[in-house]
Amino acid sequence: MVSGDELEIFRHELQGIVEEMGVTLERTSYSTNIKIRRDYSCALFDADCRHIAQFTAAPSQVAALLYATPAIMEERTDGLQPGDGFLLNDPSQGGAVHLPDIMLISPVFHDGEVIGFVGNDAHHVDIGGETPGGIPADSTSLYGEGLIIPGVKAVTDWEYDEEMLRILTRNVRGAEMRIGDYQAQLGSNRIGARRYRTLFESYDREGLAEHVDELLSYTEKRVRAEIRRLPDGRYTAEDYLDGDGIDDEPVVVKLAVVIEDDEITFDFTGTASQNRGPLNSNPSTVFAAVMMAIRSLFEEDLPQNEGFYRPFELVTPEGTMVNPDENAPIAATGEITQRVPDMVIKSLAEAIPDRVIAATKGTVVNVAYGGTDPRDGEEYVYYETFAGGYGARPTKDGMDAVQPHLQNTANSPIEEVEGEIPMYVRTYALRQDSAGAGRYRGGLGIRRDMEFYDHEASFTVLSDRSKYAPWGLFGGEDADPARYVIDPDTDDEREVGSKSTNRLAPGQVASIQTPGGGGYGDPLDRDAELVLRDVVNGKVSEEEARDVYGVVVDRVERDIDNEATERRRRELREATPSENDGVAADGGTASSTDTDAVDNVDSEGGDRA
Amino acid sequence: MSVRLGVDIGGTFTDIVLYDETGDRVYTTKTPSTPEAFEQGVVDGIEKVLDESVDVGDVSFLSHGTTVGTNAVLEGELPKIGLVTNEGLRDVLEIGDQTRPELYNLFTDKPPTVVPRYLRKEVPGRLDHLGEEVDPLDEAAATDAITDLLAEDVESIVVSLLYSYLNADHEQRVGALIEEHGDRTAYTLSSDVYPEIREYERTITTVLNEAVKVKIRDYVENLESDLADLGLDTALNIMHIGGGLLRADQAVESAIRTVLSGPAAGAVATQYTSEREGSANAIGMDMGGTSTDVSIVRDGEIIRTTEGEINHLPIKTPMIDLNTVGAGGGSIAWVDEGDALRVGPESAGADPGPICYDGGGERATLTDANLLLGRINPDNFLGGDIDLIVDRTRQLFREQIAEPLGQSVEEAAQSVVDVSNASLTRQIRRVTVERGEDPGTYVLVAFGGAGPLHAVPVAEALDMEGVLVPNNPGVFSASGLLVADVRVDESHSYRKPDLDFDVLNEQFDELVGEVYQRFTNQAFETEKVSVQRVIDMRYQGQSYELTVPVPGETTDRIDEDLLAETEQAFHDKHRRMYGHARTSEPIEIVILRASGTVQSPKHDPSITVEGGTAHRGQRDVHFPETGGVTTNVYERGLLAAGTTIEGPAIVEEASSTTMVPPDVTATVTEYGNLLLD
CATH number reported for the structural domain that contains residue B32 in this entry: 3.30.420.40
Over 90: is that where the pLDDT of B532 sits? yes
Q: Are residues A101 and A155 in the same domain?
A: yes
* Chain A (340-359) residues lying within 8 Å, Cβ to Cβ, of chain B: 345, 355-357
A176/B582 CB distance under 8 A? yes
Do A30 and B580 make contact, defined as CB atoms within 8 angstroms? Answer: yes
Domain boundary (A197, A222, A247) is at: A222
Position B84 confidence tier, pLDDT thresholds 50, 70, 90:
very high
In a domain, A162, yes or no: yes
Residue A255 domain flag: no
Contacts A416 to B, Cβ<8 Å:
197-198, 543
For residue B435, pLDDT over 50 is answered with yes
Question: What distance lies between CA A465 and its chain's CA centroid?
Answer: 15
Query: So what's the pLDDT on residue A593?
Result: 38
In a domain, A609, yes or no: no
B335 found inside a domain: yes
Asked if the C-beta of A516 comes within 8 angstroms of chain B's C-beta atoms, the answer is no
The residues, any chain, with a CB within 8 Å of residue B432's CB and separated by 6 or more, are B283, B296, B438, B439, B442
The total domain count for chain A is: 3
pLDDT of residue B577: 78
pLDDT at site A606: 30
- Among B90, B94, B126, whose Cβ lies nearest the Cβ of A400? B94
What value does the mean pLDDT take over residues A486-502? 95
Most confident listed range (A31-35, A145-149, B55-59, B518-522) = A145-149
Q: What is the DSSP letter of A415?
A: H
HSE, CB side, 13 Å, CA atoms: give it for residue A32.
Answer: 15
Same domain, yes or no: B31 and B166: no
pLDDT band at B423 (very low <50, low <70, confident <90, very high): very high
Residue B117 lies in a domain: yes
Same domain? A515 vs A536: no
Domain boundary, last residue among A169, A194, A222: A222
- Quick check: A3 and B415 CB within 8 A? yes
Whole-number average pLDDT of chain A: 91
What's the pLDDT tens digit per position in B483-509?
A: 999 999 999 999 888 899 999 999 999
- CATH assignment at residue B579: 3.30.1490
Tell whether B309 is within 8 A of chain A (Cβ). no
Residue B378: partners with Cβ closer than 8 Å, 6 or more residues away: B356, B371, B386, B389, B390
Residues A76 and A165 placed together within one structural domain of the fold:
yes
Q: With respect to residue B104, please indicate whether it lies within any of the assigned structural domains.
A: yes
- Examine residue A291 and state whether it is found in any structural domain, yes or no: no
Nearest to A387 among B98, B104, B579 (CB): B98
What digits encode the pLDDT tens for the residues B342-366?
998 899 987 889 999 888 999 999 9
Distance CA B42, CA B75 (A): 21
Query: Are residues B497 and B459 located together in one domain of the fold?
Result: no
Determine the structural domain holding residue B422 and report its residue range.
Answer: 260-482
Q: Which helix (H) or strand (E) holds A6?
A: helix A4-28
Same domain membership, residue A531 and residue A500: no
Tell me: do B449 and B546 sit in the same domain: no
User: What single-letter amino acid sits at B253?
Assistant: E
Chain B CB contacts of A36 under 8 Å are 543-544
Residues B145 and B96 in one domain: yes
Model confidence at A566: pLDDT above 80: yes
My answer on whether B567 and B467 are in the same domain is no
**Last-in-domain residue among B482, B511, B544:** B482
In a domain, residue A315? The reply is: no
Q: Which residue of A has its CA nearest to B164?
A: A415
For residue A410, the chain B residues in CB contact (below 8 A) are: 97-99
Is B630 within the bounds of a domain?
no
CB contact under 8 A, A23 and B430: yes
3-state secondary structure of A261: coil
A403 and B418 within 8 Å at the Cβ level: the answer is no
A488 and A367, same domain (yes or no):
yes
- Burial class (CB within 10 angstroms; exposed 0-12, middle 13-18, buried 19+) of A312: middle
Per the CB < 8 Å rule, is A428 touching B422? no
Backbone angles phi, psi at B583, to 5 degrees: -65, -20
Q: B568-614: per-residue pLDDT in tens? A: 999 998 888 777 788 888 899 999 999 999 998 777 665 566 667 88
A546 contacts A534 by C-beta, under 8 angstroms: no
The tens digit of pLDDT for each residue in B308-319 reads 888 889 988 889
Q: Which of B431, B454, B482 is the last residue of a domain?
A: B482
Is B624 part of any domain?
no
Q: Let me know whether A59 and A197 are in one domain.
A: yes
The nearest alpha carbon in chain A to B125 belongs to: A426
Q: Do A222 and B88 touch (CB under 8 A)?
A: no
Judge contact between B101 and B225, C-beta under 8 A: no
pLDDT at B77 over 90: no
Mean pLDDT of chain B: 91
- The rounded distance, in Å, linking the Cα atoms of A240 and A165 is 42
Tell me whether A408 touches chain B (CB under 8 Å): yes
**Domain span at A118:** 4-222
Interval B291-295 mean pLDDT = 94
Residues 6 or more apart whose Cβ sits within 8 Å of residue A366: A135, A334, A383, A384, A385, A461, A462, A463
Q: Give residues 322 to 351 of B whose Cβ lies within 8 Å of A.
A: 335-343
Dist. CA A102–CA A120, nearest whole Å: 8
Residues of B in contact with A429 (CB under 8 A): 88-91
B124 in contact with A at a CB cutoff of 8 Å?
A: no
The residue of chain A nearest to residue B575, with distances taken between CA atoms, is: A28
- Of the candidates B42, B65, B88, which is a domain's last residue? B65
DSSP assignment letter at B67: -
Amino acid (1-letter code) at residue B362: E
**pLDDT of amino acid A78:** 80
Are A486 and A562 contained in the same domain?
A: no
Query: Does any domain span residue A114?
Result: yes
* Cα separation, A133 vs A437, whole angstroms: 38
Read off the pLDDT band of A594 (50, 70, 90).
Answer: very low
Q: Are A545 and A556 in a shared domain?
A: yes
Share of chain B above pLDDT 70, in %: 97
Q: Do A536 and B129 touch (CB under 8 A)?
A: no
Regarding whether A498 and A362 lie in a shared domain, the answer is yes
With H, G, I as helix, E, B as strand and everything else as coil, classify residue A179: helix
| pLDDT in the model for residue A599 | 33
* Shortest Cα distance, chain A CAs vs residue B220, angstroms: 34
Q: Is residue B227 part of a domain?
A: no
H/E segment holding residue B343: strand B341-347
Residue A390: closest C-alpha in chain B? B106
**HEC per residue, B171-228:** HHHHHHHHHHHCCCCEEEEHHHHCCCCCHHHHHHHHHHHHHHHHHHHHHHHHHHHHHH
Dist CA B192 CA B209 (whole Å)? 11
pLDDT tens by residue, A277-295: 999 999 999 999 999 999 9
Is residue B275 located within the same domain as residue B396? yes
The pLDDT of B412-417, averaged and rounded, is 98
Inter-chain Cβ pairs, chain A and chain B, closer than 8 A:
191
Q: What is the mean pLDDT of residues A127-140?
A: 84
DSSP letters along B293-330, please? EEEEEETTEE-EEEEEEETTEEEEEEEE--EEES--TT
Single out the residue in A222, A242, A258 at which a domain terminates.
A222
Does residue B648 sit within a domain? no
Is residue A581 very low, low, confident or very high in pLDDT (cuts 50, 70, 90)?
A: very low
Phi, psi of A124 (to 5 degrees): -80, 145
In order of A536, B326, B333, B395, B553, the CA distances from B420 in angstroms are 49, 10, 9, 21, 48
Give the Cα separation of A61 and A121 in Å (integer). Answer: 6
Report the side by side order of strands in the sheet with A379-385: A379-385, A366-372, A457-462, A499-504
Q: Is B121 part of the contact surface with chain A (CB cutoff 8 Å)?
A: no
Predicted pLDDT of residue A602: 31
CB contact under 8 A, A8 and B340: yes
pLDDT band at B531 (very low <50, low <70, confident <90, very high): very high
**N-term to C-term CA, chain A:** 31
Check residue A585 and give its pLDDT: 40
Q: Residue A192: which of A81, A324, A41, A78 has the closest Cα?
A: A41
Which of B564, B575, B502 lies closest to B535, judged by CA? Answer: B564
Same domain, B32 and B59: yes
Contact A438, A477 (CB under 8 A): yes
Together in a domain, A410 and A537: no
B92, B104, B161, best to mutate vs chain A, most A CBs in 10 Å: B104
pLDDT digits (tens, 9 = 90+) for B19-67: 888 777 788 888 888 888 899 999 998 988 887 667 888 898 899 998 8
Residues of chain B with Cβ-Cβ distance to A27 below 8 Å are: 433-434, 436, 577-579
**ipTM for the complex?**
0.92
Contact check, Cβ <8 Å, B579/A27: yes
Q: Check whether residue B30 and residue B133 sit in a common domain.
A: no
Name the A residues in 580-609 with CB < 8 Å from any B CB.
Answer: none
Distances (CA, A) of B255 to B7, B206, B317, B322, B522: 18, 10, 11, 19, 16
Pair (B587, B442) in one structural domain:
no
Q: Do A27 and B436 touch (CB under 8 A)?
A: yes
| pLDDT band, very low/low/confident/very high, at B248 (cuts 50, 70, 90) | very high
User: Residue type at A212?
Assistant: V
Same-domain check for residues A444 and A546: no
Is the CB of residue A40 less than 8 Å away from at least one CB of chain B? no
What does the pLDDT average to over A263-272? Answer: 98
Q: Please list every residue in chain B whose beta carbon sits closer than 8 Å to the beta carbon of residue A222.
A: 336-338
Using an 8 Å CB-CB cutoff, list chain B residues near A9.
418-419, 422
Q: Is A176 on the interface with B (CB under 8 A)?
A: yes
Residue-level pLDDT at A590: 37
Q: Which of B86, B97, B103 to mutate to test the interface with A (most CBs of A within 10 A)?
A: B103
CB-based contact B199 A415, cutoff 8 Å: yes
Question: Do B95 and A292 make contact, defined as CB atoms within 8 angstroms?
Answer: no
**How far is it, in rounded angstroms, from Cα A144 to Cα A157?**
33
In this structure, the answer to whether residues B355 and B475 fall within a common structural domain is yes
> Domains in chain B: how many in total?
4
To the nearest whole Å, the CA of B416 is away from the closest chain A CA by 7
Distances (CA, A) of A331 to A224, A246, A341, B68, B286: 34, 13, 19, 51, 48
Residue A191, domain member (yes or no): yes
Shared domain for A396 and A490, answered yes or no, is yes
Give the pLDDT confidence of B96-135 residue by residue, as tens digits.
999 999 999 999 999 999 999 999 999 999 999 999 999 9
B617 found inside a domain: no
Distance from CA of B623 to the nearest CA of A (A): 16
B298 and B435 in a single domain? The answer is: yes
Using a CB–CB cutoff of 8 Å, tell me whether A393 touches chain B: yes
Using CB atoms, which residue from A9, A225, A428 is nearest to B419?
A: A9
Q: Are residues B40 and B82 in the same domain?
A: no
